[in-house]
Structure 1
Amino acid sequence: MQPDRLVIAPKTPSAQSNNVRLGVALMIATTVVFSVQDGISRYLAGEYNTLMVVMIRYWFFALFVMAVAARSAGGLRAAARTSQPLIQIIRGLLLAGEICVMIYGFTVLGLVQSHAVFTCYPLLVAALSGPILGEKVGWRRWSAIAVGFVGVLIILQPGYGVFDPSAVIPLLAAVMFAVYGLLTRYAGRRDRTATSFFWTGVTGAVFMTLIGLSSWEPMSGPDTIWMAALCVTGALGHWLLIRCYEVAEASAVQPFAYFQLVFAASIGLIVFGEVLTSNVVIGVAIIVAAGLFTLWRERQKR
């Protein structure tokens, strides 16, 4: 989430327990589940229209969101109450669009290269936090951002032969997810996490239904089972992530989200026969190092 993972503003230590060991275990479990979800998405989007696959996935996601909201304080009405509906709708549309772009990227580029490029999204969050949230970005973080994008260029190799435009698909998804994450932080200044979660699921489900119904096509029996597995892994991944941020501070567990790159790449290599090239390995190492430094600086500032 990774394409559709929640972005949850970290709570203060007084508002939550801080069991880092359990939090790390939950984060790693989350990355495993989301990697499996990405593998299933790659398969289904290769067999059926991407919009239909994402639409069905969002139907289940919306039901999950409403079930969570119904069990929270105040129920569905309280979860839906917001003073900034436009921001919440834009968030939901951005995430739904990002998921479509990323899954399409899986079918064009594969899991390995798509996730390798998408890994730069924390750097994009740091870069865009100034113009969107008004946060101050110091020279150290700007340096890390610049270094990280050197890693992206190493992966994309724009100077070798004819540049493949499809290589920017996961980069576009990363930009969309970064803006979604920053708008989630912005919305979190006035809305509860439950409210943002509710609007994310419902807005996305409505949007995907409007654009996806025309792409409907019948699914075979085995693929129906894979579709059900995709829906279940989505709900399970979100539940694990919510639990992760309930038991530990986000800044302590966020670096372990990079494990999703390892697990997703492993699925790409083993299941889909993708190839891990040296430029991808070098580029990812640079991006992850820059991202970890950025997370460390953010934690130091807090």
Structure 2
Amino acid sequence: MLATGLTFVAMNGIVRHLGTGLPAAENAFLRFAFGLPLFLPTLIPALRRGFPRDLWAGFALRGALHCLGVIGWFYAMAHISLAEVTAIGYVNPVLVTIGAALLMGERLSWRRMVAIGVALVGMLIVLRPGLRALGSGHLAQLCAAAMFAASYLIAKRLVERTSPAVAVAMMTATVTLALAPIAAAVWVPPEPWHYRWLLLAAGMGSLGHYFMARAFAVAPMTVTQPVTFLQLIWASLLGTIVFGDQVDLFVILGGGLMIGAVSYITWREAARRSPITPPIDVAKGA
């Protein structure tokens, strides 16, 4: 999950650099289309073996949800700061943690429930509804976070029945197919430099999803998700140094509140040596 955060922040910086020159759906499509060849060595043998019908349904549902999420995310990246995108994205792990407890039976102690409440307060500090007008970029990122949370919950189930590499390859393929007609409807001819940056973004994003799938395969989501909060620090530094974003103290305060809440609960359970991480199942493959 640490490697996931680093690669995703790098991808965020690339997408921010691209700006609004291309529609969000087109940017998203090109990012996944460029990433798809990286997974063909995994995807082709898996398709030849085939999947049960219910597994196909899981792949398709995840692809549709992730498609909506990436469109919203690309739009938000072009309209609000890197730090805001990252901070609002913390709704995602909160929703994932709640969903994992409600739908998958993962243990949610009272300390974790308090941490979730504190994290939501932090989110309100970041957004400050009623104190400022929320723009379309903020709303797009909120919707994207919800879609990604649902996608990640499905991913957790998928890696219980197939390898992380296959799960990511199928996600890349289904999202590419879902985005193709949407991108075609708003297509703007890209410049050559667009392709170079999007190819790099595709590599970073695909690598990040693989790291995340590996983490999901060996540990409960309530363990893996807190690590993603470190992205706020890296995103704030990148936005300030590279793009000249002004440091928003409310974003830092709200994000820090969320980081502190989740870090505390993780430290408490580690200090008690709670058996919350299952052993690695080598049968799932590398």
Letter of the 2:118 counterpart: V
User: 1:203 and 1:169 mapped to 2: Cα distance?
Assistant: 21
Q: Which residues of 2 match residues 51-90 of structure 1 at below 5 A?
A: 51-70=25-44, 75-78=46-49, 80-84=50-54, 85-90=56-61
Query: Take 1:34 and 1:77, find their aligned partners in 2: how far apart are those partners?
Result: 31
Q: Which amino acid aligns with 1:98?
A: G
What is aligned with 2:158? 187
The residue number in structure 2 matching 1:102 is 73
Retained in 1: the 8 A contact 2:126–2:254? Answer: yes
Sequence identity of aligned pairs in percent? 25
Q: C-alpha separation between the residues in 2 aligned to 1:197 and 1:247?
A: 12
Measured in 1, the distance between the counterparts of 2:90 and 2:179 equals 25
- Taking structure 1 as reference, are residues 65 and 293 closer, same or farther at Cα in structure 2, changes over 3 Å only? farther
Per the alignment, residue 169 of structure 2 pairs with 198
Between the aligned partners of 2:232 and 2:42, the Cα distance in structure 1 is 28
Please name the residue that 1:10 is paired with: none
CA change 1:121–1:246 in 2 (3 A) is closer
Which residue number corresponds to residue 181 of structure 2?
210
Cα distance, 1:165 vs structure 2: 5.8
Q: Which runs of 5+ in 1 are unaligned?
A: 1-26
- Would the aligned equivalents of 1:123 and 1:291 in 2 still touch at CA under 8 Å? no
Q: Which amino acid aligns with 1:48?
A: L
Q: CA RMSD in A?
A: 3.0
| Secondary structure, counterpart of 1:167 in structure 2 | helix
Q: What SS class does the counterpart of residue 271 from structure 1 fall into? A: helix
Alignment equivalent of 1:282, drawn from 214, 234, 253:
253
Q: Distance in 1 between matches of 2:197 and 2:239?
A: 17
What one-letter code is carried by the residue in structure 2 that aligns with 1:193?
A: P
Asked whether the equivalents of residues 81 and 195 of structure 1 are also in contact (C-alpha less than 8 Å), the reply is no
C-alpha displacement at 1:224, in angstroms?
Answer: 2.8
Q: How does 1:34-53 map to 2 (within 5 A)?
A: 34-53=8-27
Asked whether 1:140 is paired with 2:114, we answer no
Q: CA deviation at 1:207?
A: 0.3
Displacement of 1:204 in angstroms is 0.5
Letter in 2 for 1:44: L
CA distance in 2, matches of 1:98, 1:294: 28
C-alpha distance in 2 between matches for 1:106 and 1:117:
11
Deviation, structure 1 residue 264: 2.1
1:33 corresponds to: 7
Cα distance change of structure 1 residues 127 and 112 upon mapping to structure 2, 3 Å threshold: same
2-structure distance, mates of 1:204, 1:69: 14
Q: Aligned equivalents of 1:42 and 1:33: distance in 2?
A: 14
- Which of 136, 151, 170 pairs up with 2:122? 151
2: CA distance, partners of 1:136 / 1:58: 34
* Inter-partner Cα distance in structure 2 for 1:213 and 1:228: 19
SS where residue 275 of structure 1 aligns? coil
Offset, 1:82 = 3.3
What displacement does 1:153 show?
0.4
Partner Cα separation in structure 1 for residue 81 and residue 40 of structure 2 = 33
Check 1:270–1:39 CA distance in 2 against 1; reply closer, same or farther (3 A cut): same
Could you say which residue in structure 1 is the equivalent of 2:131? 160
C-alpha contact 2:160 2:217 (8 A) present in aligned 1: no
SS at match of 1:300: coil
Task: Quote the residue 1:24 is aligned against.
Answer: none
